[in-house]
Structure 1
Amino acid sequence: MTLLYSEVEEELRAAVRAVLADRCPPAAVLARVESEPYDPGLWKTLAGEIGVAGLLVPEAHGGAGATASEAAVVLEELGRGVAPVPFFTSSVLATYALVRATGTGAGETAAGETGAGVGLLRGLAEGRMTAALAVPFAASPYRPWHGSPVSSGEPGGGGGEALLSGSVRSVAGADVADVLLVPVPGASAGGSATLYAVERDAAAVQAVPSLDLTRPVATVTLDGAPGTRLGVVDLAEVLRFGAGLLASEQLGVAEWCLETTLAYVKERRQFARPVGSFQAVKHRLADLWLDVVRARAAARGAVSASGEGAPGGAGLDPVAVAVAQAWNGGVAVHAAEEALQLHGGIGMTWEHPVHLFLKRAKAGEIALGTPGDHREALASLAGVPGPGAE
């Protein structure tokens, strides 16, 4: 395992960063965030020209066959720009669930019920369509069905078809998805689920207010919607994979906040001196820098700890994921709060983009398990008493 970035990852980072600098500056995000946050033109460039949409799709099915480490680099850059694109919801969460359900991770030829899944994988890899995994964005890998009215399936016309009914709240990416991937819980306990593909037009998708304006959520309601069976998936493992990569997006948010604040306090003057020259400000930023460095190590550890790290491999190490999410969620929020305070009056205004990063950080902190959830899981995995245990 190495925490260093490879040459390929740095090249991928440079390509994504250049596109975001040109097409997605903070002013552009602010201009559209209240009316139409999703930027289809930006997504078309990232997905089609750079190929980020197919990173986690096996090469045999039109993708890049990359590992979680490459996808994590993209998420770092998207976090730096709070980019309003469905990479995490479609190209990470939904794509990984589809790969695991269809059993195409190792590049084998799919047959039978997975044929539809392979066709969908190709569409996702090419950026022609997007998908959303119909689970609450706050669903935890440790309680994948807890507090969630999950859809149930009734036999339809055969051939892997089913009629699905139910409602799922707070689904991220559903408002811009072409296909919804709906997991239906299995009879056995745990996170096992049967995954169905439902066309977007067959479901009622109603956007609801979201703290993070750059990543809207919606309530998905199915009333006898026809679904195509894709296969069986371990939903808990899918959510854990997503949580591990979300740590890299949180790292990107924290890095932007730190770098932007450093640049500001060097220029902003008070009492004829740069604000950054005051010892109290120096100490706060030094502490924040240490937090971000640790967050980078945790995020890289989460996506590098697996033997293979690719969707067709063994996924991500549960301990490394728990460590990353137990730390990075709080660091992103702390970095955004410090950025807002150290920017002074301008940081409180709508015109400055720091509020977008604070909202992304706060929403990400409760997504796919809170830091407390992951600390409890880490204690259990390590065989030690958890937080609050006597």
Structure 2
Amino acid sequence: MRLTDDQLTLRHTVRRLLAASPPDLWQRLVDLGAPALLVPEDHGGLGAGLAEVYTVQYELGATLAGTPLLSSVLAATALPPGQTLTAVAGGTVAALAWSAPDQATGRVTGQVTGRVTEQAGRLTGRVTHVLDGDTAEILLVAAGDTLHRVDPAHASVTHTPALDPTRPLATVDLDHTPAEPLGPFDADRVRDVACTALAAEQAGTAARCLELTVAHTLLRRQFGRPIGSFQALKHRMADLHVLVTTAESAAMAAALADPADLPVRAAAAAAHCAEALRTVAGEMIQLHGGIAITWDHDAHRYLRRAHGGGQLFGTPAAHVDRLARLVGF
């Protein structure tokens, strides 16, 4: 299980781009084709797959880059062929307001909550925690098994204060709002792709947390020695290394999965990567000592990303329950 040479080239290209920290990062990613990865070539896309999404999301996670790429991935997965899909491939920011009910209980899992009903071509309801909802030019709303497009000017979209300031969230309120039906909406497919893309990001974030922590323990000295030379800290960082590498493997396994295996692998990746990042980010705080609890250090940003992302498309416990049902337990 490994990336191809082309995928590794994409990884290095994105990594160099992020290292340069350009002010127009999203436009540079659009020029690179990032939002077009899952869009078919005959609609202006690259016709790539989840492995390429994994490659880009991993690097974005390592730098905590605040881009609407995850929203674009959801939109590209949900949309049927048409002009809207072509616009998403070209970098137009799209937000998907949806909720994914648990098939066993009927309850909505995760932060994406709400219920939207359709009557006579108009939508009514509220969806919370919509990624990039307040800046999107295209607003997609799922009502039952149908995907609709709504003019953002006709909906009430309000910014939601979030734990992670690099991930804008919004609440979408609809009150008999006119909507254009676009086609069927496959919530299960969207959820599996969302979990796979988020797991890739979390794996990249966890790897960067460990990298920064190891670097700190080699510089910070106590009793005349780098604290990283202490056996107790070596053991803790070795355990974190295991978590990081297994998170990378779980996320890559989902990204490279056959369509029939994707639900199982996406659930496993969602559960493990979220927990791995939460643990590694927490240990990052501990091993950095007092500086990590100040605003001057970036450690709190990684911890915020860990806790915010860990709830986004369902909690780890919810994904474990789903995984157990999928494999027959």
TM-score calculated relative to the size of structure 2:
0.94
Question: How do 1:262-301 residues align onto structure 2 when only pairs under 5 Å count?
Answer: 262-301=214-253
**Residues of 2 paired with 1:67 and 1:241: CA distance?**
10
Quick one: which of 267, 284, 294 aligns to 1:322? 267
CA apart distance, 1:141: 5.9
Q: Please state whether the residue corresponding to 1:231 is helix, strand or coil.
A: strand
User: Which residue is equivalent to 2:17?
Assistant: 19
**Residues of 2 paired with 1:260 and 1:315: CA distance?**
37
User: Which residue is equivalent to 1:169?
Assistant: 128
Is 1:134 aligned with 2:116? no
Quick one: which of 54, 66, 75 aligns to 1:94? 75
Quick one: which of 316, 321, 324 aligns to 1:376? 321
Contact 2:147 2:181 in 1 (8 A): yes
**Residues of 2 paired with 1:283 and 1:175: CA distance?**
44
Contact 1:131 1:180 in 2 (8 A): yes
Contact 1:303 1:316 in 2 (8 A): no
Unaligned runs of 5+ in 1: 25-38, 105-117, 156-161, 186-192, 307-313, 385-390
After superposition, the CA RMSD in angstroms is 1.7
Q: Please state whether the residue corresponding to 2:58 is helix, strand or coil.
A: helix
Contact 1:240 1:316 in 2 (8 A): no
Contact 2:75 2:88 in 1 (8 A): no
Q: Any idea what the Cα deviations from partners look like across 1:300-359, whole Å, max 9, x if unmatched?
A: 1111121xxxxxxx4762111121122111000111111111111111111211111111
Question: How do 1:324-339 residues align onto structure 2 when only pairs under 5 Å count?
Answer: 324-339=269-284
Contact 1:54 1:126 in 2 (8 A): yes
User: Which residue is equivalent to 1:221?
Assistant: 173
Contact 1:140 1:239 in 2 (8 A): no
Q: Please state whether the residue corresponding to 2:286 is helix, strand or coil.
A: helix
Deviating more after overlay: 278-287 vs 171-180: 171-180
Query: Structure 1's 95 and 315: CA in aligned 2 closer, same or farther, altered over 3 A?
Result: farther
Deviating more after overlay: 248-257 vs 346-355: 346-355
**Residues of 1 paired with 2:130 and 2:98: CA distance?**
6
Q: Please state whether the residue corresponding to 1:379 is helix, strand or coil.
A: helix
User: Which residue is equivalent to 1:7?
Assistant: 5
Is 1:146 aligned with 2:118? no
**Residues of 1 paired with 2:106 and 2:42: CA distance?**
30
Q: Please state whether the residue corresponding to 1:380 is helix, strand or coil.
A: helix
Contact 1:80 1:256 in 2 (8 A): yes
Q: Please state whether the residue corresponding to 2:146 is helix, strand or coil.
A: strand
Contact 1:141 1:237 in 2 (8 A): no
User: Which residue is equivalent to 1:367?
Assistant: 312
Quick one: which of 87, 111, 118 aligns to 1:123? 87
Contact 2:150 2:180 in 1 (8 A): yes
Q: Any idea what the Cα deviations from partners look like across 1:83-120, whole Å, max 9, x if unmatched?
A: 1110001x21121111xxx2x4xxxxxxxxxxxxx111
**Residues of 2 paired with 1:259 and 1:296: CA distance?**
14
Unaligned runs of 5+ in 2: none
User: Which residue is equivalent to 1:256?
Assistant: 208
Contact 1:141 1:239 in 2 (8 A): no
Q: Please state whether the residue corresponding to 1:242 is helix, strand or coil.
A: helix
Letter of the 1:262 partner, please give it. Answer: V
Query: Structure 1's 301 and 379: CA in aligned 2 closer, same or farther, altered over 3 A?
Result: same
**Residues of 1 paired with 2:77 and 2:158: CA distance?**
25
Q: Please state whether the residue corresponding to 1:205 is helix, strand or coil.
A: strand
User: Which residue is equivalent to 1:45?
Assistant: 28
Is 1:57 aligned with 2:33? no
Q: Any idea what the Cα deviations from partners look like across 1:179-225, whole Å, max 9, x if unmatched?
A: 1110011xxxxxxx100011221211111211111102111011222
**Residues of 1 paired with 2:185 and 2:261: CA distance?**
15
Identity of aligned residues (%): 41
TM-score calculated relative to the size of structure 1:
0.80
User: Which residue is equivalent to 2:59?
Assistant: 77
**Residues of 1 paired with 2:66 and 2:21: CA distance?**
11
